[in-house]
């Protein structure tokens, strides 16, 4: 099966952005042309993200807004309550995409339970689409078995030149699920990479543009984060460039299985 893009392919992530910085960064992103904004309950910035969207003057339906339900809200008695609270903070009646932020590896809440709640959020119109984040192949298969094919539009996972997650991405492609790549710039590590520096110098593009184009060329959506207008515009420009097959092969050769987001509650990765 082929995947289909469920959202603008280049969005802006807001992980680690707090208070005024979150508001300002989302404002700058929207001014730069971004129409896909990603947040989460645990980021503690939904109110600022929502305020920036409201103040932007851009019609709500022109913005693709994603948020994620945190582990402490997965149980049936808290799930929908937390989503409604999130919508209040975001100052909107709905989100375009609602994700399970992490699978509950402790099994304190059964996947059946929280995926039922996720589907219920969609049925109630609280979200237009649903998906997951940080799910392994086995967990994704379990989720498809529970919800049926075609319900899960994305699995948001860490992907960058040093963690290319190929087995998982191949499985997602088979299932028609679009990957969303977070941390695509490996929290800045890409900027010191001689291979990427060389490609950027030869092509006349920035390292960020080279890496983001490589991600986009694999049919992924991606959500790099930046707080500076110059970098936001530069990242956004990745959509206008192209990479040679040789340069893509060089980037493919950087895969080292280096995982950055690996908390103690993470699943057993593929």
CA nearest to 141, candidates 108, 167, 106: 167
Where does the chain show beta strands of DSSP type E?
Answer: 12-13, 36-38, 64-69, 95-100, 127-133, 152-158, 178-182, 221-222
Query: So what's the pLDDT on residue 5?
Result: 75
Assess whether pLDDT exceeds 80 at residue 28: yes
CB neighbourhood size of 28 (10 A): 20
DSSP letter assigned to residue 163: B
Its pTM stands at: 0.97
Assess whether pLDDT exceeds 60 at residue 122: yes
82 — phi, psi (to 5°)?
Answer: -65, -35
**In Å, how far are 64, 236, 246 from 195, measured between CA atoms?**
34, 22, 12
Handedness of CA 245, 251, 257, 262 (dihedral sign): negative
What's the whole-number mean pLDDT along residues 257-270?
A: 97
Q: How confident is the model at residue 6 (pLDDT cuts 50, 70, 90)?
A: confident
Assess whether pLDDT exceeds 70 at residue 1: no
What's the whole-number mean pLDDT along residues 206-214?
A: 98
Query: So what's the pLDDT on residue 4?
Result: 64
Return the domain boundaries, the chain: 12-182
Q: Which two tokens stand for residue 213?
A: 């184009």
Are 142 and 152 within 8 A, CB to CB?
no
Mean pLDDT score of the chain, rounded to an integer?
97
CA angle, 96 as apex, 89 and 54 as ends, to 5°?
A: 45
12-182 CATH fold: TIM Barrel (3.20.20)
Q: Which residue has the tokens 């899960």?
A: 152
Report, as residue numbers or ranges, the catalytic residues.
Answer: 43
> CA 93, CA 62: separation in Å to the nearest integer?
14
pLDDT digits (tens, 9 = 90+) for 169-205: 999 999 999 999 999 999 999 999 999 999 999 999 9
DSSP letter assigned to residue 267: -
What's the whole-number mean pLDDT along residues 15-34?
A: 98
Q: How confident is the model at residue 3 (pLDDT cuts 50, 70, 90)?
A: low
The DSSP element (H or E) to which 46 belongs, if any, is helix 46-55
Assess whether pLDDT exceeds 60 at residue 166: yes
Strand 36-38 and strand 178-182: pairing?
A: unpaired
CB neighbourhood size of 201 (10 A): 10
pLDDT digits (tens, 9 = 90+) for 57-92: 999 999 999 999 999 999 999 999 999 999 999 999
């Amino acid at each position: 099966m082929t995947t289909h893009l469920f959202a603008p392919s280049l969005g802006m992530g807001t992980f680690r952005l707090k208070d005024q910085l979150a508001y300002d960064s989302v404002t700058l992103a929207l001014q730069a042309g971004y129409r896909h904004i990603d947040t989460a309950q645990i980021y503690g910035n939904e109110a600022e993200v929502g305020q920036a969207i409201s103040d932007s003057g851009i019609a709500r339906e022109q913005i693709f807004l994603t948020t994620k339900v945190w582990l402490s809200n997965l149980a049936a008695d808290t799930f929908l309550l937390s989503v409604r609270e999130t919508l209040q903070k975001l100052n909107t009646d709905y989100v375009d995409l609602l994700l399970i932020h992490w699978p509950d590896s402790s099994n304190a809440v059964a996947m059946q339970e929280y995926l039922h709640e996720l589907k219920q959020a969609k049925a109630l119109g609280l979200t237009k689409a649903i998906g997951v984040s940080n799910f392994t192949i086995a967990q994704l298969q379990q989720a498809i078995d529970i919800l049926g094919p075609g319900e899960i539009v994305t699995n948001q996972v860490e992907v960058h030149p040093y963690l290319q997650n190929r087995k998982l991405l191949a499985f997602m492609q088979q299932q028609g699920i679009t990957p969303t790549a977070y941390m695509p710039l490996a929290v800045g590590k890409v900027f010191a990479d001689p291979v990427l520096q060389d490609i950027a110098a030869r092509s006349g593009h920035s390292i960020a543009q080279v890496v983001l184009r490589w991600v986009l060329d694999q049919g992924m959506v991606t959500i790099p984060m930046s707080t500076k207008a110059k970098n936001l515009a530069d990242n956004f420009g990745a959509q206008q460039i192209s990479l040679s097959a040789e340069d893509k092969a060089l980037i493919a050769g950087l895969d080292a299985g280096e995982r950055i987001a690996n908390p103690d509650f993470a699943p057993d990765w593929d």
